[in-house]
């Protein structure tokens, strides 16, 4: 029987490859059709996600303490320390865009739903949020360099996209360790299917987020 870590890894890799191949956002960016307004919504969504994820890690630590799992709580407390302040990278990136591009922007609805999913996963069992964290770190490591190259070809430098570039460097280091951590922390509860489902649900919402950014690009055209 496959280990949980190997199943999660294969699931994330398959999803990431589908996103790379089929995402309209990737094709649009490669064609030079991602205007500043669409990028502003993308960055504002990252700002909201990073800030909310930091808060979710605190909730997950508290939930783990309530379950009497001090080791799981320490995992989330360490993650929270690592994630603190990442939202300010996106704030800095937004300041590099034309003022009109960022005027009145709000996070994409799919990212708001993704944060709501974080909270529901924690309520179900904090281990589901461990699986989510592994998904977020590993897919960033898989796709981050390629995404930055696509954006660079459209004139958006890494210096303008520190929220992506710095997060990529952090997640590159964390991703490999994440699979070992999930194996170590999982004690058979919740079911393996619950953890795989957490990853699938997060991936589906992120794909919808990419579609929303395409809609923003259409409106700005």
Give the pLDDT mean for 122-150: 96
Half-sphere exposure of 41 (CA within 13 A, CB side): 22
Taken as a whole, the chain contains a residue count of: 221
Tokens 């799981």 belong to which residue? 72
What band does 219 get if pLDDT is binned at 50, 70 and 90? confident
Q: Say how many Å lie between the first and final Cα of the chain, rounded.
A: 51
Output b/e per residue, 200-217; b: 16+ Cβ within 10 A: ebbbebbbebbebbbebb
Tokens 């783990």 belong to which residue? 64
- Domain ranges in the chain? 4-220
C-alpha–C-alpha distance, residues 169 and 190, integer Å: 31
Environment class of 65 (CB within 10 Å of its CB; exposed 0-12, middle 13-18, buried 19+): middle
pLDDT digits (tens, 9 = 90+) for 162-210: 999 999 998 888 888 999 999 999 999 999 999 999 999 999 999 999 9
Q: Against a cut of 0.85, is the pTM above it?
A: yes
CATH number of 4-220: 1.20.910.10
Instruction: Decide: 79 and 18 in contact? Cβ < 8 Å.
Output: no
C-alpha–C-alpha distance, residues 118 and 105, integer Å: 23
Residue 33 is classified by DSSP as -
pLDDT digits (tens, 9 = 90+) for 25-64: 988 888 888 999 999 999 999 999 999 999 999 999 999 9
Give the pLDDT mean for 87-101: 92
C-alpha–C-alpha distance, residues 4 and 195, integer Å: 9
Environment class of 136 (CB within 10 Å of its CB; exposed 0-12, middle 13-18, buried 19+): buried
Residue 4 is classified by DSSP as H
């Amino acid at each position: 029987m496959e280990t949980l870590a190997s199943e999660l890894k294969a699931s994330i890799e398959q999803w990431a490859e589908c996103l790379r191949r089929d995402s309209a956002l990737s094709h649009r960016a490669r064609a030079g059709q991602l205007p500043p307004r669409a990028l502003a919504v993308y960055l504002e969504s990252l700002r909201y996600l990073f800030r909310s994820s930091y808060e979710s890690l605190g909730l997950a630590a508290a939930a783990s303490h309530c379950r009497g799992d001090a080791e799981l709580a320490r995992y989330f407390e360490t993650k929270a320390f690592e994630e603190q302040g990442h939202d300010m990278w996106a704030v800095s990136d937004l300041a590099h865009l034309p003022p009109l591009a960022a005027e009145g922007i709000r996070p994409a609805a799919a990212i708001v739903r993704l944060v709501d999913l974080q909270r529901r996963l924690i309520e179900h069992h904090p281990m589901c949020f461990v699986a989510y964290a592994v998904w977020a770190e590993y897919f960033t490591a898989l796709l981050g360099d390629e995404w930055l190259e696509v954006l660079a070809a459209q004139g958006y430098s890494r210096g303008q996209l520190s929220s992506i570039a710095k997060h990529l460097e952090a997640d590159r280091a964390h991703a490999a360790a994440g699979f070992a951590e999930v194996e170590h922390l999982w004690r058979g509860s919740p079911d393996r299917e619950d953890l795989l489902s957490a990853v699938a649900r997060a991936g589906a919402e992120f794909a919808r987020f990419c579609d929303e950014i395409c809609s923003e690009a259409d409106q700005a055209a």
